[in-house]
Amino acid sequence: KYEIIHIRIERDKLVLAMSDPLNVFAIDDVKFIARMDVQPVIATTSEIKKAIEDNYDDQGMKKATAELNEEFG
C-alpha cells in the first residue's frame, strides 16, 4: 500500500524513507501504529525496495507483508 521503510529513531521521531513524503495518510497510519511522531525523507521506489530486500529475508518479508495487508488491506 505504501512505499516506506524505517531508517532510524532520532529525537523521539521515527525517520521514514518514503517514495511520497507528502502522503499524509501514510504518515498518519504509521504515527498511529508506532505511537511516535514521524519525520519523512524522500527516497525512490527502487531504493526502498532494495533496502527492504537487504534488511529482511524472504520469509520475514512475507510475514510482515501479510500482517500489513491484514491491518491496512
In the chain, what percentage of residues exceed pLDDT 90? 60
pTM to 2 decimals? 0.71
User: Cβ contacts of residue 16 below 8 Å, gap of 6+?
Assistant: 4, 5, 6, 7, 27, 30, 38, 39, 40, 41
56: confidence class by pLDDT, cuts 50, 70, 90: confident
Q: Over the chain, what is the mean pLDDT? A: 88
Is pLDDT larger for residue 53 or for residue 40? 40
Weakest-pLDDT range from 2-6, 14-18, 23-27: 2-6
Contact 56, 64 (CB under 8 A): yes
Contact 46, 19 (CB under 8 A): no
Strand partners for 18: 4, 42
72: confidence class by pLDDT, cuts 50, 70, 90: low
Closest to 46 in 3D by CA, of 8, 1, 5, 16: 5
